[in-house]
Amino acid sequence: MTQKAFASQADLEEKKVSFTKLSDNAYAYTAEGDPNTGVIVGDDAVLVLDTQATPVMAQDVIRRIREVTDKPIQYVLLTHYHAVRVLGASAYQPQQIIASQDTYDLIVERGEQDKASEIGRFPRLFRNVESVPPGLTWPTITFTGKMTLWLGKLEVQLLQLGRGHTKGDTVAWLPQQKILFSGDLVEFDATPYAGDAYFKDWPQTLDNIAALKPEKLVPGRGAALTTPEQVQAGLAGTRAFIADVYESVKSGVAAGEDLNAVYKSTYARLAPKYGQWVIFDHCMPFDVTRCYDEVTQYPDPRIWTAERDRQMWQALES
Ligand SMILES: [Zn+2]
Q: In whole numbers, what is the pLDDT of the chain averaged over residues?
A: 96
Separation of 103 CA from ligand 1 center, angstroms?
A: 11
Summarize the confidence of residues 289-302 as an average pLDDT: 98
Question: Is residue 65 classed as helix, strand or coil in its secondary structure?
Answer: helix
Separation of 167 CA from ligand 1 center, angstroms?
A: 11
Contacts of 316 (CB under 8 A, 6+ apart): 259, 260, 263, 285, 288, 289
Alpha-carbon distance 234 to 3, whole Å? Answer: 31
Alpha-carbon distance values, 175 to 184, 214, 262, 291, 301 (Å): 20, 9, 42, 34, 32
Which residues are registered as beta bridge partners of 77?
Answer: 49, 98
Separation of 67 CA from ligand 1 center, angstroms?
A: 28
Separation of 177 CA from ligand 1 center, angstroms?
A: 26
Torsion angles phi and psi, residue 135, rounded to 5:
85, -155
Question: Is residue 240 classed as helix, strand or coil in its secondary structure?
Answer: helix
Could you tell me the pLDDT band of residue 7, with boundaries at 50, 70 and 90? confident
Which residues are registered as beta bridge partners of 171?
Answer: 159
Summarize the confidence of residues 61-80 as an average pLDDT: 98
pLDDT over 80 at 1, yes or no: no
pLDDT digits (tens, 9 = 90+) for 235-279: 999 999 999 999 999 999 999 999 999 999 999 999 999 999 999
Alpha-carbon distance values, 295 to 23, 254, 281 (Å): 42, 10, 22
Q: Residue 203 in contact with residue 245, Cβ under 8 Å? A: no
Separation of 184 CA from ligand 1 center, angstroms?
A: 5
What is the model's pLDDT at position 2?
A: 57
Separation of 153 CA from ligand 1 center, angstroms?
A: 31
Exposed, middle or buried: residue 37 (CB in 10 Å: 0-12, 13-18, 19+)? Answer: buried
Q: Residues 252-264, buried b or exposed e (16+ Cβ, 10 A)?
A: bbeeebebeebbe
Alpha-carbon distance 205 to 169, whole Å? Answer: 10
Could you tell me the pLDDT band of residue 6, with boundaries at 50, 70 and 90? confident
What is the model's pLDDT at position 10?
A: 78
Alpha-carbon distance 274 to 161, whole Å? Answer: 26
Could you tell me the pLDDT band of residue 139, with boundaries at 50, 70 and 90? very high
What's the whole-model pTM score? 0.96
Separation of 14 CA from ligand 1 center, angstroms?
A: 20
Question: Is residue 31 classed as helix, strand or coil in its secondary structure?
Answer: strand
Summarize the confidence of residues 196-218 as an average pLDDT: 98
Question: Is residue 280 classed as helix, strand or coil in its secondary structure?
Answer: helix
Question: Is residue 73 classed as helix, strand or coil in its secondary structure?
Answer: strand
Summarize the confidence of residues 21-33 as an average pLDDT: 97
